Amino acid sequence: MRILGIDPGYATTGFGLLQTEGGAGIRLLQYGVITTPKELPFPRRLEMLYDDLLRLVELTKPDASAVEELFWGHNITTGIGVSHGRGVILLALTKAGVPVFEYTPMQVKQAVVGYGKAEKRQVMDMTRRLLHMEQVARPDDAADAIAIALCHARSQSSMLAKLQGSP
């Protein structure tokens, strides 16, 4: 199964593509970011994000997507913009027919590190270790997207998921 992890944004959206191989494990296929130029009007940036994400889906052909739910920090203005970007991302994935699974930051930390209050650097390092990467992915948005995809891969391979899927 190919899993496309997405760390939502409108200026920078991270993505990470994993391949689960049954008992053989999980492999990182590619990662990166979708960016939109800050000099463009906001609606045009959202349109560019939509188009680029559809193109990414077309190229990578994921079987599922994992998108991080938003955590509202101190800057509400940025949070609102990111919320708009997240909405565009959910729309693009749905229109492309890719099943969407959503995870909170705490769920990602729990799945990757085993502790829901782990620090960002711990999540990045464990992601690197689990996927046998030489170094942590850069930029951070891409590293976060890989962790989100890994969360979904590990959630889907858990014993509970297997029991829920059995007749």
What does the buried/exposed string (b/e) look like for 111-148 if buried means 16 or more CB atoms within 10 Å of the residue's CB? bbbeeeebeeeebbbbbbebbebeebbeeebbbbbbbb
Catalytic pick from 7, 39, 69, 119?
A: 7
Q: Which of 21, 52, 68, 119 is catalytic?
A: 68
Instruction: Name the catalytic one among 21, 52, 102, 141.
Output: 141
- Residue 7 is a catalytic residue: yes
Where would I find the H helices in 4-104?
42-60, 76-95
- CA dist., res. 155 & res. 148, Å (int): 10
Residues taking part in catalysis:
7, 68, 141
